[in-house]
Amino acid sequence: MTDTTTTPTAGQQVRDGVPAFLDQVRSVGFVVMRKQELSGLVGDADLAELRAAFEDLPVDTQVDGVDVYRERRYGRLRVDVEGDTVSQEVLPNAVFRQDSIPLWRGKNRIFEPVSEEVLLSPAIRALVGFDARMATAADGNTSWRVGIHLVRVVARVGADGLPTPEGRHRDGHSFVGLHLMRRDGVTGGVSTIHPNDGSDMVQTTLRQPLDSVFFNDNMITHEVSPVAPEGASGVRDMLQIDFNPMD
């Protein structure tokens, strides 16, 4: 199924912000965006619908032996950008590799799929469209193979959640958008970004739904500190959107 949308008028503030965000991506490789900067992009009802999809994630069995408990689904899209118009087509689920990360090197990784309904939900369409326009503006490529990851990290008493069990790393994609969906009952989760140009590392904590980071994966490395439960348990839900040129 293919969906074609044009960024809505309600997102005019966000559309106008793309060049400003882009300047930082081009200069240092990343930009941190807060909820208020993206609030015109996704309505409350659409965001709530997407957040509900995180309540139906199977256990991520790919991290067995790494002392991590998380839940995850994965889906793929073909995304084409022409100005403000972004076309999104659901692709079949598939294995993927992250040989750039020693922890996963040489392993085919496969996860239960994200449903087509969720992949083409209004919130994902809006966030993918925004990130795709950023990637196209930064790179010039207009056709992308896009990975959609719904990831819940669970923290329990005696077992902190590890958002990045691989430590400081590069994801192995062209561009990546990270969008916080939920942060309930946890402390920690500090994101540290290390620009390749030798400038000072930057630390930030994503706290509110839609707090986001977008980065050129070739220009930085990054990591996230463990999350500890404030009570018996807590969760940190992230929507990760990765971009690579279509083959």
Q: What is the pLDDT of residues 30-50, one digit of tens each?
A: 999 999 988 889 999 999 999
Residue 171 in contact with residue 242, Cβ under 8 Å? yes
Question: What range does the domain containing 186 cover?
Answer: 2-245
CATH of the domain at 29: 2.60.120.620
Question: Residue 90: is its pLDDT beyond 90?
Answer: yes
**So what's the pLDDT on residue 1?**
53
**So what's the pLDDT on residue 7?**
39
Q: Specify the pTM.
A: 0.88
Question: Residue 66: is its pLDDT beyond 60?
Answer: no
**So what's the pLDDT on residue 68?**
62
**So what's the pLDDT on residue 65?**
53
pLDDT band of 162, cuts 50, 70, 90: confident
The number of folded domains in the chain is: 1
**So what's the pLDDT on residue 169?**
82
For tokens 């032996």, name the residue: 65
Question: Residue 165: is its pLDDT beyond 80?
Answer: no
The pLDDT > 70 percentage for the chain reads 85
Q: Rounded to a whole number, what is the largest CA-CA distance in the chain?
A: 50
**So what's the pLDDT on residue 239?**
98
| Conformation bin of residue 189: beta by default, left when phi > 0, alpha when psi is -120 to 50 | left
Q: What is the pLDDT of residues 96-128, one digit of tens each?
A: 765 555 655 566 677 889 999 999 999 999 999
Closest CA to 118 of 147, 143, 148: 148
Other beta carbons less than 10 A from residue 180's beta carbon: 21
Q: What is the pLDDT of residues 10-24, one digit of tens each?
A: 333 454 457 678 889
Closest CA to 17 of 107, 130, 97: 130
